[in-house]
Structure formats: structure tokens, C-alpha cells
Chains A and B, each alone.
Chain A
Amino acid sequence: MFLKQIDLTTALRPSYLPDEDLLFVQDNVGLYEGKYKLPDQQNGQVYLTSHRVCYVDKAEPRKYSVALDLKDVERCEFYAGFLKSSAKVTLIPKAIKRSSLGPRSPGFAPGSGTSSPGRRNDSPIRPPPVDPPPASATTWVCTICSFSNPVPSNFDPSTANAHTPLPPCLTCGIKPTLTHVLKAAISTAAGRQPGGPVLQTPLPVRPRPLSALGGSHINEGSGSAAPGAPRPSSALKTSDPDASFQCPRCTFFNHPSLLSCEICGAPLISHDIPDINQHIRSETDSPGPFLSKPLSALPPSLDSPHNSQPESVKVSFRGGGEKIFYERLKSSMTQRKWLLQGAPPIPKSGDGLANGTGSSSGPGGPPERVKIAGIAGLEHRGQAMRKNNELVIGNAFEDLEALMASAKEIVALAEKFARQSAIAGDPNNAFLAESVSQLGLITTKDIVGTSGTSGSNSLYLSELARNLAEFLTDDSRGVLRRAGGIMSLVDLWAVFNRARGGVELVSPTDFEKAAVLWEKLGLPVRLRTFKSGVKVVQGRDRTDETTIRSLLAWMKDLHEFPPEREVEWDWREWGRGVTARDAAERFGWSIGVAEEELEMAEERGVLCREEGIEGLRFWENFIDTGEGKTMPNPAQEASDHLIKAMKDAGMI
């Protein structure tokens, strides 16, 4: 089973990896593993992204939502459905490679933090292919005598610190610095990846004695296998004498029985790792050769773990949309966007400016920088950067292909420009520009499934609602926080559409409908309608009571602090009237919202109004002091007085 649990956003959508794009959403789907339905994943939405297929459960989204990486998918099949059986898309996982390719998959190499492996639902039998880098294969070059020393087998770059004992150089006996060894270890670990296929040369299968390892200690086993030289030697007794063993360092083909390279002396132990894995499997499975054979005799429950091939996963489309899903799945499998992750930037064409800069960070060759200093240097640098930008843009727009190739750079550039222009402008613009760059949230009508006329629309709306909720609650953007925790729907609509950068705008009708859905979907924002019909958006935790409390606290403050100018009344007793503008300033609300909030408080009898030449002002309600009902106020007032007196006396 290659499904993993996933993290969800506040709006109960999968949180996307960097560079991940949403391609398609369809609701009313269920999951199968092999032939069997997964009991907890029978009604939910499937999100197809450029990297993953995510399933978000409708009833228990936080518990049962899963995803599978497209990079683990070998191929997909389409089943159109028949009579009562709904259409399905089958995702067949890649056979788990226990070979040396395993550690080379980008996810596991130390130092390449590309995709987070996440929590895996692996069955215990299938070990997560976390192989420690074959330690003895790495070498560090002595800085004194430039001899290639092997990095000690127990040296782990991730845990090494200053106290890790390091052996001295074998030739000259000078101890290396920790950083030096660390660098060497990491660079070899990283460098192995591209060089991977070289090591994949057909190797003879080297069966190993069964006693060598306990079944479950693969990780320790492989780690300890490295120093234990005798073990490989026994393993190397192969039946095929022609098989040669390529040296990982100098690529010389050695005799398989050799422990170290004849030419460069590099140890040849790393090849043993696939061997161990194979061995484990064969041990748990059957003492046969590696070729995994389906054990049809076993019951299915036992079959799946024992079979090296994990079960395929089927996505059953009960509400339609399977065709588009399949099309987009196919295209994203072809595009293989996940490979682009962390890929080096496109090499620049041979121009003088970009030479010598492996990354896009530093334009201008190093020698130039050395020559020119001071203001002239800065100017020169600026000029070089501008020229570089010009070049990048020019190249990119030459033709479509080039544009696609340099898309990443262009986007980065555009963002930079946007930010620069925003700095010149008001902060609001900056905030918007920021939003645009962060918008990974394109819910378009195009993306969601088109099962039926009404059904698809509701899915679009619910996606839009989630989208909006994410937009609102995103901490980095802080849309809601900036607006004092409450903002009118119209404002939100404007901000949201502006954040979309003018494409795929949302119609007011859809927007309103989506906002109404928040309540139903259990999202952390809510739509509130004021008495006057103004609709506002606020966090779920914000209620009228909290607003009133803060308003009252403010009113109390006004008794304490003298107003700016002389007033005719006794401000110590009555405080001061506030306008909607004052409230808006005080709480960061928009004026419309402030008006509504004040009126709400008035409606509740907390405030009262005063209409004058200066406009409408709101006061603490001293008119309705509870006549006709009980008289709770004298006591209250007395205590207030007491508190006030104590405050005046400086006791509080």
C-alpha cells in the first residue's frame, strides 16, 4: 500500500508542496486497494495535482485523508464502468526497487530535502527504503597529502558533531577537520545520484548465507555490513565468474571477488546493499531466487504484504468526472513535474554575462566584480543585473518552448518586479503582489469535475468556499487579521479577485454562494449578515459578545482619558461619544463594518446613539439603566465608583 496520510489546510484541503499545482478536483469518489474497498475512504474528494493524487475524506477529513505520489505510480489504467460498477482509474505502483536505485531516489538522499516522505502507512514487512549512504564508498581527500581516505563507516553526516571521533589520515596521520569530512560525505552522497545508473550495471545476484542477518534489522544490518568486510567476501562467491564489479570511483571493472578496487583502492562494498535487501525478501518470502512470484496459494490478506508488488489503488468515480481525471493524470504523469523539483536552473546560453554562475544568484563573473569596487562597482552590478534580466526575458519570449523552459525564472523575475514596484507604491499593493505570488489556489471551473450540471456547480462552489477560507486564514497573508478580524464580503470579493491577478475572476453570485457554504463545510470562517443586510466575513471564534466586550472596554477607557478638546459634559461620568470612524480606527475595521458593529451593540442595548451636527455618535447606554426591570445598576455603579476611586488613588 503506497498511500500516505497527508496534512490538510485549515480549509480541509490538502496542503500542497512547493511547485505543486492543482489540476483537478472531483467529489464523490471512493478508494479501493486491489480488489477491496477501503472501508474508511469511500466518500470524499479526489484532488489531482501535478505531484500527487490526494483523497480527502468527507466525514473524517483529518483522519482518513490520504495521498499517493505520482512518482511511485508505474502506470494507470482506466475502467469505464459497467452497469452498477462505477468508472475507476487504477493506479499501479512501481515495483519497489530494492536495488541500489533505492537510496538514489531523490527523497532519501541526505541533503536533498525535496519531498517529505511523510508518514507512511507501510506494512511492516515492506521496509521503508531508507538506506544509509554506503559509508565506506565515500572518501575524503586529505588536505595535507591529498590521499583519499575512506570516511569511517559509522560516520553519519546528519548526526556528526564536534565530538565525533575522526580517524587521522592513513598516510600522513593528520586529523581532518569535521567540516571537511562532512563536506566530503555529503558531496559524495549527493554526487552519487546522477551517477546512479552507472552502478546499475547488471550485477550477478549474490545469494548470501541465511544466517548473516536477522530479518527485521535491515537498517542496522546494512549499516553494519559495511565495516564487516568478511561478510561481503562470503557473498561474493558467485557462481558466475564473468560478472565484473565496476568501481564506483574510477569505473574500473574489477573481479567480483575483490574487496577493493585494483586501480584506486576504493572499497567495493556498496554493492552489497541491494543484495541484503534481496536477501531479506527472499527469506521472508520463500528461500528461492529473487524473482518474486505471486503466491496465489496464500490468502489475499497475507498475499499483499508478502508480495513484493504493493497493491494497486483504484479511485472509483461515483459522481463522474473520471475521464477528465484520467486525461489529466496521464498528462501529469507524462510531464513528471516532480522531477523538476530542485532541478538546477536552465543552463544559460553562452553569453558573457551569465558565464561562471552556476546558479541564477550572482550575475556578472567573479573576475569583473573583483576589478571594480565602490560606487562604480555597484553601478556596474546593477547594470549587469538589468542586462541579465533583459536577456532572460528576451530569451524566454522568443518562442513558446523557451518560455516553458525558463518559466521558473520568469516567474521569479516577475515577482521581483512586482515587489519592487510595490515598494514604491503603498503597502496595500505590496500585500496584493505578495498574495498573487502565493496563490496556489486556483479553483477554476475548469478544474473541478463536470459530472452533472448541478453537481459540478456545487462542487465548484464548495471548492471555492474552501479556497476562500484558506485565503482568509492564511497566516502569512493575514487578510482577515489586517481587517481587524472582520471584513465585508464586498471587500473580500475585491481583494480575492485582485489577488487572482485578473484571471479566473469569481462572479459575485458564485462568491456569495460559496460564502454561504462555509457554515455547512465547517470551515473556520463564517458569513454574518447584519441587520441592514450587509454581509461580512469573520472568524468563527469571533462573536457579538466578544465584540461588545471590546467595545465596552473601550468605552470605559474613555472615562479615564480626557478627550482631545473641551467638552460640555462631564466626560468622567459619561465618557465620550464615538463615531463609526473612531471605532474603525480603533479596531482596524472598515467604516462600514464599524457602523454595523456599533449598531449591533446598540441593538443589544449596550450603546445608545446621539445624532448631532457632527454626525452619529455612539455612547455607552446610560439611558436604559434598567428601569422597570430589576435595578442592578446602583450596585454596579457603586462598584464602578469604587474601582474608579481606587484607580484615582493609584491603588490599581
Chain B
Amino acid sequence: MSTTTPFFFPREYSFPPFFTRQTNLTTHHAQLIKWAALVLAYCRHHRLFKLSLSSAISDPLSSTAEPTSDTTASDLFHNRQLNRRLSLADAREVLDFLRRDGRVEPVDGTTGDVVWVYWRTPEEWAGLVEAWVDETAQRGGVLTLYELREGDATRGAEFHGMDADLLQKALGVLVKRGKAQIFGQEDSLGVKFF
């Protein structure tokens, strides 16, 4: 999913020391905060829901492989203009910092190579979906997940085009709250809102 407007990196992105782990604790903390904000803003702009750390860091040789998957964020940790990049360990530290903030979650278990980036948390997504359901008066109706993600009805809503797994997570929140129920098979999940 590509966007037309380019992402405006923050000022620090062009500051070479920004890509080096700072040893001074206060500076380091400030650095983490700035990186975290940058990661979230970047993912939001590019509507990235997952981030693959290894592919984001270990840039596959050249820029030809750039638009391979939607988890690539090759220029997030790598400033080609400056020829500076954040090391894997440092990027992991940034994500770890975000995780503690509840903004990042490992996708599958503890290996943590691919992570969810919650520039909106599942709860927030759930709120959005619920609000949309209310707005469009679909309470009591049944929708497939595909309809929610790709259907014409949701065009314009923020969760349009959203990652399926994340949507499922968000709906899971609603289920827990007793606002929805998910049923169906693997590929054709449906959801009923109450």
C-alpha cells in the first residue's frame, strides 16, 4: 500500500549522531523518545502495522528490493542521504522501549523479529470500529472481516485496508467487551455487532 505524499522525517533524522547509541543516560533517553516518535509517525504515515526488524535493518543490498512487503521500512532506520543507519541492537532497543510503552508487540511469541507497531492500539482500533458501526447503523448486523477491511462501505474509515490479523485483534477486544461476536472459518470470518 503506497502513499502519495512523502513522509516528512523529523529534524533529528538528518542529524548524524542520532544514529548512534548515546552513552549519556539523559541524552539516551531523549534519543529513545525521539526514535519512538519517529517509528510511530513513520508507520502511521505508511500505514505499516507490522515491522520486520531484520528486513528493516539488513537492507537487502540495494534499493531495488524496497517495496517487497508492507513490513519493510527500509528508510526508517537507514538514512541514505547521510549514509547513517541505526544498528540492529539499537533498533531493537527502540522497539523494546516502545514495547514497554505498549506500542509494540511481538507478532509471534517471543522471537520478536516481526512486531506489531501499535500507532493505534487494538483498543483504539476497536473503538474506531465500534464508532463506525454506530455511525452506519450496522449494530445487529453481520459483516465479514473482508468487508470491514476492503469493502466499499468502509472506504474512508481509518481501518480500511487494515492488517487482517490486527483487525482480528481489535475485534477480539470488542468480543471481550461483549460488543461483538466472531464466527466462521479460517478464511471467511464474520463478525456480528451487538
Residues of A within 8 A of B (CB): 568-570, 573-574, 577, 602-603, 605, 608-612, 617, 619, 621-625, 627-628
The minimal Cβ–Cβ distance linking A625 to chain B, given in whole angstroms, is: 7
Tell me if B183 counts as interface (CB < 8 A to partner A): no
Residue on A nearest B84 in the bound complex, by CB: A612
Q: Given A602-B23, A608-B22, A624-B26, do A619 and B15 touch, yes or no (CB 8 Å)?
A: yes
Tell me if B81 counts as interface (CB < 8 A to partner A): yes
The minimal Cβ–Cβ distance linking B91 to chain A, given in whole angstroms, is: 15
Residue on A nearest B33 in the bound complex, by CB: A627
Q: Which of B25-43 contact A (CB under 8 A)?
A: 26-27, 29-31, 33-34
Within the complex, which residue of A603, A610, A621 is in contact with B19, where a contact is CB–CB below 8 Å? A610
Residue on A nearest B30 in the bound complex, by CB: A624
Within the complex, which residue of A573, A610, A627 is in contact with B17, where a contact is CB–CB below 8 Å? A610
Q: Which of B1-20 contact A (CB under 8 A)?
A: 11-12, 14-20
**7 A–B contacts from the bound complex (CB under 8 Å):** A602-B23, A605-B26, A619-B16, A622-B11, A622-B15, A624-B30, A628-B29
Residues A609 and B30 in contact, CB atoms below 8 Å apart: no
Tell me if B83 counts as interface (CB < 8 A to partner A): yes
Q: Given A608-B17, A612-B84, A628-B30, do A623 and B12 touch, yes or no (CB 8 Å)?
A: yes
Count, chain B residues at interface, CB 8 A: 24
Q: Given A602-B23, A602-B24, A608-B24, do A623 and B30 touch, yes or no (CB 8 Å)?
A: yes
Cβ contacts under 8 Å, A627 to chain B: 30, 33-34
Within the complex, which residue of B15, B24, B33 is in contact with A569, where a contact is CB–CB below 8 Å? B15
A568 and B29 CA atoms in complex are apart in Å by 26
Given contacts A602-B23, A627-B33, 19 further A-B contacts (CB under 8 A): A568-B81, A570-B14, A603-B24, A605-B24, A605-B26, A605-B27, A608-B17, A609-B17, A609-B20, A609-B22, A610-B16, A610-B19, A619-B15, A622-B12, A622-B15, A622-B17, A623-B17, A623-B30, A624-B24
A577 and B11 CA atoms in complex are apart in Å by 17
Residues A623 and B15 in contact, CB atoms below 8 Å apart: yes
The minimal Cβ–Cβ distance linking B67 to chain A, given in whole angstroms, is: 24
A611 and B90 CA atoms in complex are apart in Å by 12
Tell me if B82 counts as interface (CB < 8 A to partner A): yes
Residues B30 and A569 in contact, CB atoms below 8 Å apart: no
Residues A628 and B33 in contact, CB atoms below 8 Å apart: yes
Residues B20 and A574 in contact, CB atoms below 8 Å apart: no
The minimal Cβ–Cβ distance linking B13 to chain A, given in whole angstroms, is: 10
Cβ contacts under 8 Å, B33 to chain A: 627-628
Of residues A577, A608, A611, which shows the largest number of chain B Cβ atoms within 10 Å of its Cβ?
A608
Cβ contacts under 8 Å, A574 to chain B: 14-16
Residues of B within 8 A of A (CB): 11-12, 14-24, 26-27, 29-31, 33-34, 81-84
A601 and B162 CA atoms in complex are apart in Å by 47
Cβ contacts under 8 Å, A622 to chain B: 11-12, 15, 17
The minimal Cβ–Cβ distance linking A629 to chain B, given in whole angstroms, is: 9
Residues B23 and A609 in contact, CB atoms below 8 Å apart: yes
A380 and B19 CA atoms in complex are apart in Å by 72
Residue on A nearest B81 in the bound complex, by CB: A568
Residue on B nearest A601 in the bound complex, by CB: B24
Residue on B nearest A602 in the bound complex, by CB: B24
Within the complex, which residue of B12, B20, B34 is in contact with A610, where a contact is CB–CB below 8 Å? B20
The minimal Cβ–Cβ distance linking B85 to chain A, given in whole angstroms, is: 10
Within the complex, which residue of B27, B81, B83 is in contact with A624, where a contact is CB–CB below 8 Å? B27
Residue on B nearest A574 in the bound complex, by CB: B15
A175 and B81 CA atoms in complex are apart in Å by 92
A367 and B98 CA atoms in complex are apart in Å by 96
Residue on B nearest A616 in the bound complex, by CB: B20
The minimal Cβ–Cβ distance linking A374 to chain B, given in whole angstroms, is: 67
Residue on A nearest B34 in the bound complex, by CB: A623
A625 and B18 CA atoms in complex are apart in Å by 12
A552 and B24 CA atoms in complex are apart in Å by 17
A92 and B27 CA atoms in complex are apart in Å by 71
Q: Given A574-B15, A610-B20, A622-B12, do A568 and B83 touch, yes or no (CB 8 Å)?
A: yes
Cβ contacts under 8 Å, B11 to chain A: 622
Residues A624 and B12 in contact, CB atoms below 8 Å apart: no
The minimal Cβ–Cβ distance linking A630 to chain B, given in whole angstroms, is: 14
A568 and B14 CA atoms in complex are apart in Å by 9
6 tightest A-B CB contacts, nearest first: A624-B30, A610-B17, A624-B27, A619-B17, A568-B82, A610-B20
A125 and B193 CA atoms in complex are apart in Å by 118
A605 and B29 CA atoms in complex are apart in Å by 11
Q: Given A570-B14, A608-B17, do A623 and B81 touch, yes or no (CB 8 Å)?
A: no
Residues A608 and B19 in contact, CB atoms below 8 Å apart: no
The minimal Cβ–Cβ distance linking A469 to chain B, given in whole angstroms, is: 34
Cβ contacts under 8 Å, A621 to chain B: 27
A165 and B65 CA atoms in complex are apart in Å by 106
Residue on A nearest B21 in the bound complex, by CB: A611
A608 and B16 CA atoms in complex are apart in Å by 10
Cβ contacts under 8 Å, A610 to chain B: 16-17, 19-20, 84
Cβ contacts under 8 Å, A612 to chain B: 16, 20, 84
Within the complex, which residue of A568, A602, A623 is in contact with B18, where a contact is CB–CB below 8 Å? A623
Residue on B nearest A610 in the bound complex, by CB: B17
A621 and B31 CA atoms in complex are apart in Å by 10
Residue on B nearest A620 in the bound complex, by CB: B17
Within the complex, which residue of A577, A624, A625 is in contact with B16, where a contact is CB–CB below 8 Å? A577
The minimal Cβ–Cβ distance linking A477 to chain B, given in whole angstroms, is: 38
